[in-house]
Structure 1
């Protein structure tokens, strides 16, 4: 089974799979709403194609087209933004007094004084309207998203002619391309038009060598969140830098026929093929600079991109696009049970592939990170502003990046964390009078870091200041997977240190327990009940706060072991770690969510923040900390028993938690629940909002990470093979997963055998065996490798970059458990 497991580290074997059904999402009718369309993107530009026959609307987006501008002052009027606001310091002291007086209701009320404005909103750029002149009903309709080629297509027949559309967003050429085809000459007759939901004007011109539509517009200076009922929620300004200019330009060339322009539209008559290229630009300059680029300069930028793309014919454009996409997409692949059919297993395969596709499409070098909807949005006031929600959603978007071999796509998040460290330092000073940097529960294009709520927000989301340590976990994990010491030394550690400085200052001694703790402290979006039966959000020492700080300080110490101690910080952080409030087990045997064993207002709450140290953290582990793992198991089981994990992202998180607990049956059940309850027909994640479900990308990206966690788990010198495979996955193969320590892994399993191939990234490797399996041999280029064995794992020496083949077999029924031994190999 070793032969062909690897794809040259990833590519050739996936190439054998090609664009087969495992990599296709198909439909036999047009999308009835935007959410059901097929998305394409290059990180910068994006489009959603619904595939209407006579009329189709392709919604277009640009990753830097947002409302607003850099904040003038995120705090109160008349205060120097670079110094502590005395009113904020007074409010913080008052909140803390209420917390330690066991008066959380008052603490909630007082916390409103520590709130700032809401974030900007991700904006829709334009809609491309395509109207086809068909006189007969379509037949043989098929709409498909080819994940392997990153091309969305529509085919059908009308009036005896076969028609086709192909849509892709090219990263090498920076444009969106749409091709219209007919299998009979001269049968394409259509109308193209660009409109925008923002303030914009379109003009169309048709002349020799230049048939194009130019849409020029401006984004709002303010777009209130969709959940706020306020007067004038969308506001525009004519002042430079108050709202950004944007330009969308479309060019058309046709094989045969004529192209004319009228009333802002292009009309194509009698063509056999037509190629549409779309370029776009915005007035965004930097997160800390006003977006005051004149519209003429914005237009010129889009025209340059369009002119460059027009130098390539369609064949070249699509070839360059597919090659670029497959260089990332084909690094990994998954096959389950050998066949494609109905049921959850093939959907699980496609979900694994779709998550990787979506991250590639929405997060590339030098783009913004993927937001709540990735890079797709059709509404001026999208759900939750389609912003960066940093109390779970943004981080979940990137859980798959390292493990699924897309570290390149992780970098936009790390770039944004560097921007947040700048604005977050100002927020830490102004709101709390503290060093370092902090981020609260929302951010946006402008790297907003302040607490939101505008004085009226519920503190259970508005006043949470702990996004920083969660975000820098991604910085540390990027190092753990890559081993890139230069990255750690020149970029990563500065972010970790600044965040640790804030967290160290944020800690306060709880006079009731004597431990260092956090106050005010919030378990994101959840509420507890006081002894008097009143609901409240703020207390001291929520489990997630302590888990994040404990992890951050531990990781900083580990980082300094690599790059050298900095200003005695190792000793200082080690001292603080010893004084932190410990994890606690509650009345049900559960891992407590709060330091006090409060009753929950909603025992089935969607957030499972207190399980962070189990996943995505790794402080809790069934092998190393079995008692805490048992308590975490009680917590997730109790959450689900009360209706928890009811949203897509929450179910994805629960699936990963069950995987970390090593429970394949529960992980499989949770994955099936995600498939049954949280995806649309096109497998995009749906969030149960009112009046109808909405798309959120976090569930798609999170479930891919969870599937990877089912198949492979890792620490720097240890990997766990198939730690939580559902029993219905009787055989399968996964290629191209990455492990901490820089290892790359492929695994095949069937008929009681497991074969794994590891390209080593470290000098010694421990392999944790699947339950019920024992080792047969380890081979390196035909030579048997000596290994040590204990009850759960084998350990052997490795050389970085070399390939090691590990063969396992199921333990015979009734066989004695393994005892520590060494292999007989020499």
Structure 2
């Protein structure tokens, strides 16, 4: 009790007359009263889409773990005997494999797939890190007072501040997208107090280090791909001196100092070579321009650029005033211990989610990896994949509703780059036209199946990517984008499936495929009805049973392609053929428990708690299944979710919990209009997988997917628009009794403000662009009167 009171008293000082200068807003600032000790759980992150840094805030030594998205190993320059990821032979065996599947000879089909439907990963590579930057400050015998470190989400700035020997010190950190660099700024309220020594340890040591005026240049080669990199560091200071000794930069007696850090490689997102210009030229230009602008101009441009995106949406939840004065880690622990009344902490998560998206994915960059644009390992967990059977897509769920569609451009550009290698994969493995991609992706145009069919025989990756291309149009209504970018890619993905659907029991299925990372346990030739063996363990499992995962994704792709063609008034004959094929897809089935079946065979197991739930894609992110229009199928989805569990860990299911798996469940429960269940799962996610810095993990490794998805999940509780009408407060949780959100987007180009109190709608303002159709509006699925005074419709 004494410890809690001391924290409250300290916080009151911070918010009131204490030494801290930062405004510690309870829903805009992550802040802590001690340095970080653990990267995943406590470090804070800054980024600009190109590069990212994680900082720890120690008083005597600041550390930055620096990553840049093109620091990947592998690729076409990794070896003189570079081997294509394609293993040839699949197209010669594909019909035999499909015949075995139709005949229900799954063991034989599995065996052939393990030989002919796998890819070569010898030069796949992995996301690496640039290195560790250290800034050492003089040791002092004087104690540190009023220490605070944090992130101001409203301006995208990290900070550390404290008082030592009656001097107030402040550090300010950010990564600027306009200037493509990291800026670190050190000040104090007394002159001549800024002293530090800067050094770095590089993951791939530089082959050349040059001294320049007030800075250093590091040139080297990324191990395992042969691409050059260049790092430039420049110090701007007022007062004092700057000296360079060996590979260190020493600042002494300055009034203030700024470190400018630029890094680039010669990678270029262009299949098949992925090689551009020497990075020395680009980094030299970046540092020269930054030196001319100076710190304040760089900072102001950074904030203006960031806020142009961040300020579009604002969520206000009435919270608990005592909790709002506590440091972030204390508030997170309160939630983990069952205190759910700190509603503005959920607003902080909503804002952190958008902050991460803006920081990790911007036009001209690569999409977010599993760790975003941050990494503290030579080899990122799971290679830092662009994992395409849920993770990559989940990271972008927030972009449409919270109007961060520009942040999707990196993802869309990456998908464009997959088309040409995806055509070769379609040709060599399936013998058809069109393009296809599977479950994993890197920066080298990797589209082939995995090297293990359990997780790698997943031909619906391209179909899911195309869903995001279509959603980008539906939210923005950008017809030129649809015509010139999205539709050609979507059409060619649909062409692949038009030529690859397999007749089965009078319908069409996708084959061969494996339900994401999941198989069926067999005993004496029959499925084990109540197996408690983890569904991804390969012994005694069969995998190529036709799965609904692919059927519902193909249905979604075909539907969107037809809608896109209609919007563009093109390809009537192609649309007709797509519609015929869509109508022949194997129909959905309810199993013996009333669940939506995962496979065409009724073998779902009520004791199966696997993390993947791809067969429910038809309800979210797709809209084949609707709470409003197909309630019987929505109930089957609900039953499946109840059987599969709420994403908690279990001894026999060590990977069933985790952040991204919980996030998908949250989205589905929101679509089912069950906000309390959705919020219960979110709170459990934070309890079991959450960290003090508001990040979370999957199987023990920090990943950004669920945190980036959080804004979209919360938006889904407050507004839905996938069924052709605007549904206000469809899944409002009880723990949010009062609040307001402004600037949310609905499909069709509508911008919406919503206010509620005591769990009921107070008013909503709907802004529509000129020429838009007057929207149909409901409240939690219930139709309202045309003259309902709570609803105001205006033109943008």
TM-score strictly above 0.5: yes
From 496, 507, 515, the counterpart of 1:502: 496
CA contact (8 A) 1:517 1:540 kept: no
Q: CA distance change for structure 1 residues 310 and 589 in 2, over 3 Å: closer, same or farther?
A: same
Task: Write the mapping of 1:523-534 to structure 2, written as runs, cut at 5 A.
Answer: 523-530=515-522, 531=526, 533=528
**Structure 2: how far apart are the matches of 1:494 and 1:700?**
32
Q: CA distance change for structure 1 residues 602 and 506 in 2, over 3 Å: closer, same or farther?
A: farther
From 765, 770, 780, the counterpart of 2:775: 765
**Structure 2: how far apart are the matches of 1:777 and 1:624?**
25
Name the SS of the counterpart of 1:589 in structure 2: coil
Q: Which residue matches 2:54?
A: 48
CA contact (8 A) 1:42 1:364 kept: yes
**Structure 1: how far apart are the matches of 2:275 and 2:497?**
36
**Structure 2: how far apart are the matches of 1:722 and 1:642?**
25
**Structure 1: how far apart are the matches of 2:742 and 2:380?**
37
From 659, 663, 670, the counterpart of 2:670: 659
Q: Which residue matches 2:366?
A: 368
CA contact (8 A) 1:105 1:535 kept: no
**Structure 2: how far apart are the matches of 1:192 and 1:71?**
33
**Structure 2: how far apart are the matches of 1:204 and 1:78?**
37
Q: Which residue matches 1:214?
A: 217
From 503, 506, 514, the counterpart of 1:522: 514
Farther off after superposition, 100-109 or 149-158: 100-109
From 388, 391, 394, the counterpart of 1:390: 388
Q: Which residue matches 2:317?
A: 336
Task: Write the mapping of 1:277-316 to structure 2, written as runs, cut at 5 A.
Answer: 277-290=260-273, 297-316=278-297
Q: Which residue matches 1:256?
A: 239
**Structure 1: how far apart are the matches of 2:25 and 2:489?**
43
**Structure 1: how far apart are the matches of 2:248 and 2:366?**
32
From 436, 442, 462, the counterpart of 1:468: 462
Name the SS of the counterpart of 2:129 in structure 1: coil
Farther off after superposition, 325-334 or 679-688: 679-688
- Alignment deviations for residues 646-692 of structure 1 (CA, whole Å, 9 cap, x no partner): 1101111111110000012211211211222222111012222xxxx
From 545, 563, 575, the counterpart of 2:550: 545
| Distance apart, 1:339 and its partner CA | 4.9
**Structure 1: how far apart are the matches of 2:415 and 2:187?**
44
| Distance apart, 1:360 and its partner CA | 0.4
CA contact (8 A) 1:104 1:536 kept: no
Name the SS of the counterpart of 1:375 in structure 2: coil
Q: CA distance change for structure 1 residues 537 and 257 in 2, over 3 Å: closer, same or farther?
A: farther
CA contact (8 A) 1:141 1:157 kept: yes
- Alignment deviations for residues 426-459 of structure 1 (CA, whole Å, 9 cap, x no partner): 1111111111000011111112111121xxx2x1
| Distance apart, 1:764 and its partner CA | 2.2
From 693, 704, 716, the counterpart of 1:697: 704
Q: Which residue matches 1:244?
A: 227
Confirm or deny that 1:730 pairs with 2:737.
yes
**Structure 2: how far apart are the matches of 1:496 and 1:334?**
34
From 626, 629, 648, the counterpart of 2:659: 648
Confirm or deny that 1:426 pairs with 2:424.
yes
Q: Which residue matches 1:100?
A: 102
From 231, 248, 251, the counterpart of 1:265: 248
Farther off after superposition, 765-774 or 411-420: 765-774
**Structure 1: how far apart are the matches of 2:671 and 2:358?**
26
Confirm or deny that 1:488 pairs with 2:488.
no
**Structure 2: how far apart are the matches of 1:540 and 1:146?**
50
Q: Between Structure 1 and Structure 2, how many residues are aligned? A: 730
- Alignment deviations for residues 720-772 of structure 1 (CA, whole Å, 9 cap, x no partner): 10000101111001111101010011101014442111111421211111378
Name the SS of the counterpart of 1:25 in structure 2: strand
- Alignment deviations for residues 442-498 of structure 1 (CA, whole Å, 9 cap, x no partner): 111112111121xxx2x1211111101100001111111112222111111101110
Q: CA distance change for structure 1 residues 282 and 642 in 2, over 3 Å: closer, same or farther?
A: closer
- Alignment deviations for residues 343-380 of structure 1 (CA, whole Å, 9 cap, x no partner): 44232111111111101011111111111111111212
CA contact (8 A) 1:177 1:278 kept: yes
| Distance apart, 1:76 and its partner CA | 12
**Structure 2: how far apart are the matches of 1:716 and 1:481?**
14
Q: CA distance change for structure 1 residues 642 and 700 in 2, over 3 Å: closer, same or farther?
A: closer
CA contact (8 A) 2:607 2:644 kept: no
Name the SS of the counterpart of 1:59 in structure 2: strand
Q: Which residue matches 2:91?
A: 89
Give me the CA root mean square deviation.
2.5
Q: Which residue matches 2:118?
A: 115
Structure 1 residues not aligned, in runs of 5+: 1-17, 222-241, 786-797, 804-826
TM-score by length of 1: 0.84
**Structure 1: how far apart are the matches of 2:572 and 2:725?**
32
CA contact (8 A) 2:319 2:344 kept: no
Q: CA distance change for structure 1 residues 502 and 51 in 2, over 3 Å: closer, same or farther?
A: same
Task: Write the mapping of 1:23-102 to structure 2, written as runs, cut at 5 A.
Answer: 23-35=28-40, 36-70=42-76, 85=88, 87-102=89-104
- Alignment deviations for residues 95-153 of structure 1 (CA, whole Å, 9 cap, x no partner): 32332332323322221222112332112013211111121342221111000000000
| Distance apart, 1:215 and its partner CA | 2.0
**Structure 2: how far apart are the matches of 1:201 and 1:157?**
41
CA contact (8 A) 2:594 2:639 kept: yes
From 598, 603, 616, the counterpart of 2:603: 598
Confirm or deny that 1:679 pairs with 2:700.
no
| Distance apart, 1:197 and its partner CA | 1.3
**Structure 1: how far apart are the matches of 2:722 and 2:295?**
46
Q: CA distance change for structure 1 residues 78 and 153 in 2, over 3 Å: closer, same or farther?
A: closer
Q: Which residue matches 1:230?
A: none
Q: Which residue matches 1:452?
A: 450
Task: Write the mapping of 1:341-352 to structure 2, written as runs, cut at 5 A.
Answer: 341=323, 342=331, 343-344=339-340, 345-352=343-350
**Structure 2: how far apart are the matches of 1:53 and 1:742?**
48
| Distance apart, 1:778 and its partner CA | 4.9
Name the SS of the counterpart of 2:150 in structure 1: strand
**Structure 1: how far apart are the matches of 2:707 and 2:757?**
28
**Structure 2: how far apart are the matches of 1:160 and 1:697?**
39
Task: Write the mapping of 1:112-261 to structure 2, written as runs, cut at 5 A.
Answer: 112-113=114-115, 114-118=117-121, 119-136=124-141, 137-201=143-207, 203=209, 205=211, 210-221=213-224, 242-261=225-244
**Structure 2: how far apart are the matches of 1:769 and 1:779?**
13
**Structure 2: how far apart are the matches of 1:204 and 1:76?**
33
Q: Which residue matches 2:579?
A: 574
Name the SS of the counterpart of 1:758 in structure 2: strand
**Structure 2: how far apart are the matches of 1:71 and 1:465?**
27
Name the SS of the counterpart of 2:203 in structure 1: coil
**Structure 1: how far apart are the matches of 2:280 and 2:84?**
38
TM-score by length of 2: 0.87
Name the SS of the counterpart of 1:120 in structure 2: coil
Q: CA distance change for structure 1 residues 537 and 42 in 2, over 3 Å: closer, same or farther?
A: farther
| Distance apart, 1:520 and its partner CA | 1.1
Structure 2 residues not aligned, in runs of 5+: 1-22, 324-330, 332-338, 529-538, 650-655
